Amino acid sequence: MKHPHKVPYLVCSDEEGNLFEDESLQVAARVGNSIIALKPTDFIELPFGSDMFNLPGRIPLGIDPLTGEVKQSDMGYASAAFVAPAHTQTHLAAWVTEPGAPTLPLYAYTALGWLDGKFYTTAVRVDPDRRQDCDQFNQNAVERSAKRELKANKTNRLLEHIAHCATVYICPAARNYFLNRWEAPLPTSPTCNSQCLGCISYQPKEHPITSTQNRITFVPTPEEIAEIATGHFAIAPNPIVSFGQGCEGEPILQWKTIKESIILMRKATTKGVINLNSNASLPNAVDELCKAGLDSLRVSMNSAREPLYNAYYKPRNYTFSDVKESMRIARRNGIWVSINYFVFPGITDTEAEFDALCNLISDCKINMIQWRNFNIDPEWFFHNVEVPNGGNAMGVKVFMDRIRQKFPHMYHGYFNPGREIIEEYLPLVKSLDA
C-alpha cells in the first residue's frame, strides 16, 4: 500500500456535498472519545469503490502543523470516507457536533484527507479477494440476468426476493448470484432474537435512524432454498451459499427449515460451501445444522467482552455463553468457525479487548477473523452504550499484528472463504491443542 510523503490536508464539505481541502490543517482522527494526530504511514490512497460523505452539523477538526494543536476548520462541514469492501478502517474522522445535528446513518466514518491530487484515508486492505470490488460488477448484466431468471422461474419466491436485493439494494452477494459466481445469499428469517443498535433491516420508531433495507417477509421452503443453492453450485466458480443476510433477521430461528434445505442440497451435490452467518444463539440448533452438512459458521460480534456485546446486541432469550458454546459445538463437529468482528478504533484496539479476544479464540478454537467496519454514528453509539474502560488504544494495525503473532494458525480476511482456504487452514487449529 502506498503512503503519502506527509500527512494529508483536512477535507471539508459544503451543504451540497462538494469537497475541498483546508491547507491550514492536517487530518486529525478520532479513536474512541479522543482526538489524535496521525503519521503518513497511517494513510493509504482512497480505495476505488469507496464513498465520501459530508457530515451535516459537524465542524471538522484538524491538526495545526505549526503547533500540533487540534483546531476547528472554518471551511464548512466535516467529511469522511466509507471505505470499499475488503478494507478495514483504522481511524475515525474527527469533528465537533453542533446542537441539533442529525444522527448519522449506518456507515463507518473513516478519516479522509487530500494531498498531491489524491484522496487518502486511514485503512488497511485485509483481504485480497476481489469478489466485491467495484470494478467487478456490471449492473446492466446483473439486471439482464435477473430478468431472464425471473421469466424462466415464476414460482420460487426466494429468487424474486434475491432479484429485488440485486436490483434495488445493489447487494453485492445478490449481484454475484446473478453473475453466476462466488458467494450467493440465502435469506430465510423474517424475525430476530437480537435488538442490535446498528441493525440495517429494523430500527424502532423511537430511534433517530432508519434501516437501509427491508427484511424478507416470508420463510422460504426448503425446496425453494435448495433450488437456488444447487443451481449456484452447479455453475459458479468457488461457490459459497450463505444464510444470514442484511435483508433478514436471525436465520438460526428458522433452523429446522435450513436443516431440511441443507439435506436437500447435499443429496444433490457435494460441491460448494454452505455457510451460516448468525448470532449463534441456539447451540443445539448449530449442532443439528452441522450434522446435516453445514460447512462453516460465521458469528457476528462487536466485542469479545460480554458487557459490551450485550449492550450492543441486546440479546433476547440467549446469552453470550450460548454464543461461545455454539462455536465450540461447531468446532467439535469439525466445521470452519469465523467471527465477523466489528472494528471500532479506540474500543477494539485496547488491552482489555485484546485479552478478551485471545481468551475467546483459545476457548472456542476459532479459525478466522473477518475484520469488518463498525457501521454506526460513533457519538450515537456512546450515547446508548456504556463502554467499559479498556485502557489506552494501541492502534488497529498493532492490534491485528499482535493477534496474528499470537495465533499463527488463523486466517484473516473480510469475506467468507471458499473450499480451498478452508481445507488449507482448518487443520491448523490443532495447534491450539498443543
Query: Which pLDDT value is given to residue 433?
Result: 53
Chain position carrying cell 467529511: 79
Query: Which pLDDT value is given to residue 210?
Result: 86
Q: What are phi and psi of 34, to 5 degrees?
A: -105, 150
Q: Which three cell numbers stand for residue 220?
A: 422460504
Query: Which pLDDT value is given to residue 432?
Result: 56
Query: Which pLDDT value is given to residue 431?
Result: 56
Three-state SS for 149? helix
Q: Which residues contact 154 (CB under 8 A, 6 or more apart)?
A: none
Selecting from 3.30.930.10, 3.20.20.210, 3.20.20.70, 3.40.50.12780, what CATH number does the domain 134-433 have? 3.20.20.70
Query: Which pLDDT value is given to residue 328?
Result: 98
Q: Comparing C-alpha atoms, which of 403, 332, 342, 404 is closest to residue 365? A: 332
Spatial distance between the Cα atoms of 28 and 36, rounded to a whole number of angstroms: 6
Q: Which H or E run includes 178?
A: helix 172-178
Q: What is the pLDDT along the chain (434 residues), one digit of tens a residue?
A: 789 999 999 999 998 989 999 999 999 999 999 999 999 999 999 999 999 999 999 999 999 999 999 999 999 999 999 999 999 999 999 999 999 999 999 999 999 999 999 999 999 999 999 999 989 999 999 999 999 999 999 999 999 999 999 999 999 999 999 999 999 999 999 999 999 999 988 998 889 988 888 999 999 999 999 999 999 999 999 999 999 999 999 999 999 999 999 999 999 999 999 999 999 999 999 999 999 999 999 999 999 999 999 999 999 999 999 999 999 999 999 999 999 999 999 999 999 999 999 999 999 999 999 999 999 999 999 999 999 888 999 999 999 999 999 999 999 999 999 999 999 999 887 655 54
DSSP assigned state of 82: E
What size, in residues, is the chain? 434
Domain layout of the chain by residue ranges? 9-125, 134-433
Amino acid at 329: I
Amino acid at 39: K
Q: What are phi and psi of 243, to 5 degrees?
A: -80, 145
Spatial distance between the Cα atoms of 7 and 82, rounded to a whole number of angstroms: 19
Spatial distance between the Cα atoms of 178 and 163, rounded to a whole number of angstroms: 8
H-state helical runs in 279-395: 283-292, 306-313, 320-332, 351-364, 378-384
For the chain, the straight-line distance linking the first and the last C-alpha, in angstroms and rounded, comes to: 36
- Residue 231 CB neighbour total at 10 angstroms: 19
DSSP assigned state of 62: E
Under a CB-based contact definition with an 8 Å cutoff, are residues 348 and 303 in contact? yes
* Beta bridge mates, 114: 9, 119
Query: Which pLDDT value is given to residue 106?
Result: 95
